[in-house]
Structure 1
Amino acid sequence: MTDAKKSAPLTVIGHRGARGHAPENTLLALDTGIRLGADWLEFDVQLADGELWLMHDLSVDRTTNGHGLLTAMSADAIRALDAGEGQAVPTLREALDLIDNRAGVNIELKTWNGCAQAVAAVLRDVIADGWPAERFQVSSFHHPELWEFHALLPQVPIGALICGVPLDWAACASELGAQILSVSSEFVDDKLVRDAHARGLRLYVYTINEPAEMQALRALGVDGLFSDFPDRVPR
């Protein structure tokens, strides 16, 4: 373990805003993440009824007082949902208006029904209005959708999400033209970290909530942590 690994600053990414403190993927969670000092805010988007909504699950059952698939609902029905503590399900534009460049934005594409194209259109407008492109990251487990987004808006960095270690280690992220590889914590080891760094990638780990695990991953030399509790991540 080197001193450089011990002292390297970690990028703190508030997971679904700050879901340990507020209902996930809501404006309250995003505002809480900013207040708690997250460098970046991660949230999930899906395309339904011509609008981009912050929602992780394909169904609204777990996180709202509604039932059914988000993509089967009208915009009016989605707006009527309670996402917890009286919070509405926000749109991407509403989320960006709230954040207002006070933190970086990590958008995860959850669906593949035109989501990449719709997100690219929104970010293109926001960047034209003055947000730096590098203040955004777009990620997905659905690598073809991520590839499509990258082709549409190459100036916005992308991150490849994986749950496991591919045979070619971090090469999948390099092949996508990604700047970031994000991996589930149980699959992180020194070889994956070294391979990612040798390819010029940043390695982020999700979703880390316990301080002891945060310290262990920091010692391995990872670059950033997704956490429901961004205030717990060591600086």
Structure 2
Amino acid sequence: MASSFHIYGHRGSSGTHPENTLPSFQAAHKAGAHGIELDVQLTKDLIPVVIHDERVDRTTNGIGFVKDFLYKDLARLDAGQTFSSRFQGASIPSLKSVLEWLTSTSLVLNIELKNAIFPYEHLESCVLDLLTHYELCDRTIISSFNHYSIQQLAQRSSKVETAILLMEKLVEPWDYLQHVGASSIHIEWEVIDDHFMSNTQKRGIPVRAFTVNEPHQINALKTAGCSAIFTDFPAIAVRTK
């Protein structure tokens, strides 16, 4: 996965479509992205669903926490109207429905587990079971800001690549990565520097930068040796390459 420079649609093509919806993922695929990034949480009845915020308020016409909804009620919410009236009726997809669609593509998948605030006790198992069922383990990366969760996953499965998410500089993050047991680093692009890149490259650690929307930033990160970027505008990023 890390041998060439890859472009991931951040929550799909979230600059042009309602984030974390099937239309957004399909738009990223159509734009020529190598992969898509999405966020996963659990409903009250333990169904993995694709949504970023812990609450549904910002992206849907509903109110409340994802964890307090049954899946059938969450699926009735409109996740497109708040972005644009032309996407009215788009729903919060289940992870299962996205994986079903993904099997018809060659896209790489990055799943971010949204379990830093609510630990979602069964989230890792639910996600791994679905990936195994759809035979997508070998083209999926699982990341999280909850590094305990990533450590647990790294110990449980060698089939899925795991990544720690970082917003700030860490002292010797390559050593910390080894301690967690993960294999790659997903990091805020603005904190990447020469020292970080030379040391990660030397150790063969894939570095993927988020969220990168400007062509000059994309080119700079590619030149610096990043394996991939996450972008809200995959169509622009593909043309930039």
Q: Same fold (TM over 0.5)?
A: yes
> Does structure 1 conserve the Cα–Cα contact (< 8 Å) formed by 2:184 and 2:205?
yes
Distance 2:200 2:56 in 1: 35
Shift of 1:9: 4.5
SS at match of 1:77: helix
> Does structure 1 conserve the Cα–Cα contact (< 8 Å) formed by 2:4 and 2:227?
yes
- What's the counterpart of residue 228 of structure 1? 232
Distance 2:9 2:198 in 1: 25
What is the percent sequence identity of the aligned residues?
A: 30
Shift of 1:187: 0.4
In the alignment, structure 2 segments of 5+ residues that lack a partner are 81-86
- What's the counterpart of residue 84 of structure 2? none
1:54-203 paired onto structure 2 within 5 Å: 54-84=50-80, 85=87, 86-100=89-103, 101-111=105-115, 112-113=119-120, 114-127=122-135, 131=136, 133-203=137-207
Distance 1:157 1:38 in 2: 19
Count matched residues: 224
Distance 1:140 1:60 in 2: 20
> Does structure 2 conserve the Cα–Cα contact (< 8 Å) formed by 1:185 and 1:207?
yes
Distance 2:215 2:91 in 1: 31
Shift of 1:213: 1.3
> Does structure 2 conserve the Cα–Cα contact (< 8 Å) formed by 1:31 and 1:98?
no
> Does structure 1 conserve the Cα–Cα contact (< 8 Å) formed by 2:201 and 2:225?
no
- What's the counterpart of residue 25 of structure 1? 20
Shift of 1:146: 1.1
Given residue 107 of structure 2, which amino acid in structure 1 is its aligned partner? Answer: A
- What's the counterpart of residue 5 of structure 1? none
Deviations 1:140-182 (A, max 9, x none): 1101111122222221111111111111233222323322211
* Structure 1 stretch displaced more, 160-169 or 52-61: 160-169
TM-score computed with the length of structure 2 as normaliser: 0.88
Structure 1 residue ranges, 4+ long, deviating more than 3 angstroms after superposition: none
Distance 1:77 1:118 in 2: 20
Distance 2:126 2:51 in 1: 15
SS at match of 2:226: coil
> Does structure 1 conserve the Cα–Cα contact (< 8 Å) formed by 2:11 and 2:19?
yes
Distance 1:150 1:170 in 2: 16
Distance 1:138 1:79 in 2: 24
SS at match of 1:186: helix
Shift of 1:34: 0.5
SS at match of 1:137: strand
Distance 1:53 1:159 in 2: 20
Shift of 1:30: 0.7
Question: What value does the CA root-mean-square deviation take over the aligned residues?
Answer: 1.4
SS at match of 1:170: helix
Distance 1:176 1:37 in 2: 33
> Does structure 2 conserve the Cα–Cα contact (< 8 Å) formed by 1:116 and 1:145?
yes
